[in-house]
Structure 1
């Protein structure tokens, strides 16, 4: 099996969809929509890097995963440089994909309102996810899954409190917007594991796999893609409500 580094992973699996989606987006020449989409995307990139960095480095320190010899170009703290780049590029690919497909899905008719009770319900639902995650942290075999769920809960709480009803009203866009990037990066991750770019510790995972991919890795890509798509779907709705 030929060697594949983390830089090579970006070249093979990240750069091509990024360039294709960016080219198709540019060909639409919808400059106004592009600028409007760029504002929340930049905000998401900043937040993603700030929120993911300590979590990512802690799990590397804990030994939840590690990288093959000679597969990374360098490190900042414990995480490879390529890891930080991926944290930035994954949301961009997702945002470009969502921008391209969004025209195919109609906006919900009428005004979607959120009551105080709705907002509390959104927070409670997300905190339930977090509570499950914290409980999983107490057992080695579910530690990685628990780390993902407990890490995801604060972001989900904020997004669901802001507008889970709007997200529900646009569920078709949400499903298609999340499914394609999450599945693509999960498959790419499976190949990276096969090539030994990184290894997921059996000690901290359930041992359950789908097509050889640990379910925890699939959950990670599902959650991170959901963050991006929900944020981008909510952004124009929130702005419209403020203006109104």
Structure 2
């Protein structure tokens, strides 16, 4: 299986299916933010991930199989750049499907939750910085993930954790299901040797047969997509009150 075939099998079909049955979040039928949120997140994801991923490949933290890609730009396969866009589209469309059916939770402890979320991801970032400065080869991939994604997640919670807490059920479901799907797809790709994760730069732990670092990568990137889109759609710097939740849930 080639990298392009991977996209055509695992990413393109579910995207096309959700496009065919496209649903907009409740009460946002004519809101331009719905049309712009996913493209904006795709652009940010592409810009932010490109130098990071090039560094990983340059350091041989991972590499791709011979004759499995159509070409490279810098150190990274063309198909990898495509993935930077396809993943946000996949997860973003799934989020829209979910938001068509659900409502936010009335927010009672928003302020405390906001600071707690920011502190959690800041702590994870600190762990990554410690591992990076420690300099052990076996924790390099893990450290590079932890200093790359969690700082942005911490900033999101600090910026408007009230909104994220109000949509906590949506964050949980629409992060967990696409992540589980991409875990399975990634396991197939590794087994097919489309790409290989260096044992030298990983801790050797696994999640459902997938290297821990890969599992965390998909978890954090899907969190970035989901939380980013929610903030673009609903960000208000205010807790969602019971009255607001009732209006959002109206059909």
Give TM-score, length-normalised by structure 2: 0.85
Rounded Cα–Cα distance in structure 1 between residues aligned with 2:114 and 2:173: 25
Change (3 A) 1:143 1:96: same
| Candidates 94, 98, 104, aligned match of 1:101 | 98
1:59 aligns with 2:33: no
* Unpaired stretches in structure 2, ≥5 consecutive residues: 239-251
**Aligned twin of 1:226:** 223
Give TM-score, length-normalised by structure 1: 0.87
More off after superposition, 202-211 vs 192-201: 202-211
**Aligned twin of 1:89:** 86
| Candidates 185, 195, 199, aligned match of 1:198 | 195
| Contact 2:117–2:157 under 8 Å retained in 1 | yes
Q: How does 1:1-244 map to 2 (within 5 A)?
A: 4-25=1-22, 32=29, 35-109=32-106, 114=111, 122-137=117-132, 138-238=135-235
| Contact 1:94–1:177 under 8 Å retained in 2 | yes
Q: Give deviations 1:185-212, integer Å, cap 9, x for gaps.
A: 1110100000010000001111112332
Q: Give deviations 1:23-44, integer Å, cap 9, x for gaps.
A: 110699x983674322121111
Q: What SS class does the counterpart of residue 181 from structure 1 fall into?
A: helix
Q: What SS class does the counterpart of residue 196 from structure 2 fall into?
A: strand
Change (3 A) 1:229 1:33: farther
| Contact 1:118–1:161 under 8 Å retained in 2 | no
Rounded Cα–Cα distance in structure 2 between residues aligned with 1:26 and 1:106: 14
Supply the RMSD in Å over aligned alpha carbons. Answer: 2.4
* Unpaired stretches in structure 1, ≥5 consecutive residues: none
TM-fit CA distance, 1:144:
0.8
| Contact 1:121–1:161 under 8 Å retained in 2 | no
Rounded Cα–Cα distance in structure 1 between residues aligned with 2:91 and 2:198: 28
Change (3 A) 1:211 1:126: closer
Q: Give deviations 1:10-62, integer Å, cap 9, x for gaps.
A: 1111111111111110699x983674322121111111111000000001011
Change (3 A) 1:108 1:119: closer
Rounded Cα–Cα distance in structure 2 between residues aligned with 1:82 and 1:97: 22
Rounded Cα–Cα distance in structure 2 between residues aligned with 1:27 and 1:124: 32
Rounded Cα–Cα distance in structure 2 between residues aligned with 1:169 and 1:26: 21
Number of equivalences = 235
TM-fit CA distance, 1:122:
4.9
